[in-house]
Every structure is written in C-alpha cells, then in structure tokens.
C-alpha cells in the first residue's frame, strides 16, 4: 500500500465557498454546482472560477489543514488534487506556503477527479464532493468526506464523513492497521 494521501484543495483546505458567497450570495448552499445556485450568473461564475486572483487570499478550512498536518506527522505524503486551472499553480503554491500547509505533490486541472485519484493510487482520499468521495469508495479507496453545506443531505455510502478532527482521528485509527505505515 502507498503512503500517499490525495487531498482536494477547495472545500477541504481552502475556503473557496466563503469567497464565492461573498461575491454571489449565500443562497442555495446545499447545491454543489455553483451554476445551479445562480443560473442567471453562470457567465460571471465562470470568470470568477477562472481568474487566478480569486485564489490569492482564501481563508483556510481549519479541519482539513489539521488533518493534513496530522497525516504528514505520521509519515504520509500529501498529493493535492484540484480542478483549478493549471495557470493557478503559482498562486496556489504561494497560498499553501503562506498558510503553512505541507504538501509534496500538486495536480491541477483535474476536472475528472476519480481518474486523477486512480492514477495516484493513494492510501486515502479526502474530499468535499460527495459524488467523487462515493466513486472513490466504490473503487475500493478509503474515502473521507469533509462536511460541507452541499453534502449534508446525502447518505455516506461507505464514505467516512468528517465533522471534527476527533472524528477523523477515530475513523483513521480504525483503518490504520491496514495501512502500510502502521
């Protein structure tokens, strides 16, 4: 088994949601698709998501950052996988360093995350997107889902749902025997 953990960036480490809501509004947060929240704003949403400046000063998601630091301290390598465009590489790297988030690898432009995860073949996957987390679990990966408003209303389907660091640690301890480092 590998010692790599695949971690999504936005929604797990970076609070893209807050920046989005401050720009477009706080309605329909139960919907994962931004364009479904505000269908009349799809053009502006596309611009917002595509501009590297959007990602410069995002807040962190403390739970995700705590989990990554714990995993690094326990010998895991962190592979951040993001749908952000490749030209956001520099701003993302700077943001990660400014926020003291440890990582070893970065993959950009991963619109199809499951394919990216399969090519990495990680020991664990940490996501905020329910569909991706369930898809990973169905492929046999240990899949953790950071609770977010857009994934509250769905059942876990074999995915370990994380609300607190203590819950992550408890679930992690359950599977740690099967991971090669423990």
Q: What is the pLDDT of residue 182?
A: 42
82-103, pLDDT tens digit by residue?
A: 999 899 999 999 999 999 999 9
How far apart CA 68 and CA 4 sit, in angstroms, is: 11
Is it the case that residue 177 has pLDDT exceeding 80? no
Delimit the domains of the chain by residue range: 4-15+59-178, 16-55
**End-to-end Cα spacing for the chain:** 11
17-46, pLDDT tens digit by residue?
A: 999 999 999 999 999 899 999 999 999 999
Q: What is the pLDDT of residue 110?
A: 73
* Total number of residues shown for the chain: 182
6-20, 71-85, 148-162: least confidently modelled range: 148-162
Geometric angle at alpha carbon 97, from 93 and 102, rounded to 5°: 95
Both tokens of 73, joined, read: 């301290």
Just give the CATH number of 4-15+59-178.
Answer: 3.40.50.1000
């Amino acid at each position: 088994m590998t010692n790599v953990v695949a971690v999504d960036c936005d929604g797990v480490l970076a609070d893209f949601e807050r920046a989005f809501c401050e720009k477009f509004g706080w309605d329909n947060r139960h919907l994962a698709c931004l364009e479904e929240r505000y269908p009349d704003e799809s053009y502006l949403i596309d611009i917002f998501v595509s501009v590297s400046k959007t990602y410069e000063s995002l807040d962190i998601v403390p739970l995700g950052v705590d989990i990554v630091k714990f995993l690094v301290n326990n010998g895991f390598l962190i592979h951040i996988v993001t749908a952000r465009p490749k030209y956001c590489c520099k701003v993302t790297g700077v943001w990660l360093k400014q926020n003291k988030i440890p990582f070893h690898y970065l993959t950009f432009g991963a619109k199809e995350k499951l394919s990216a995860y399969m090519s990495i073949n990680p020991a664990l996957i940490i996501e905020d997107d329910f569909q991706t987390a369930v898809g990973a679990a169905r492929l046999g990966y240990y899949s953790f889902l950071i609770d977010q408003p857009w994934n509250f209303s769905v059942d876990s389907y074999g995915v370990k749902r994380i609300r607190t660091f203590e819950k992550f640690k408890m679930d992690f301890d359950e599977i740690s025997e099967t991971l090669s480092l423990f």
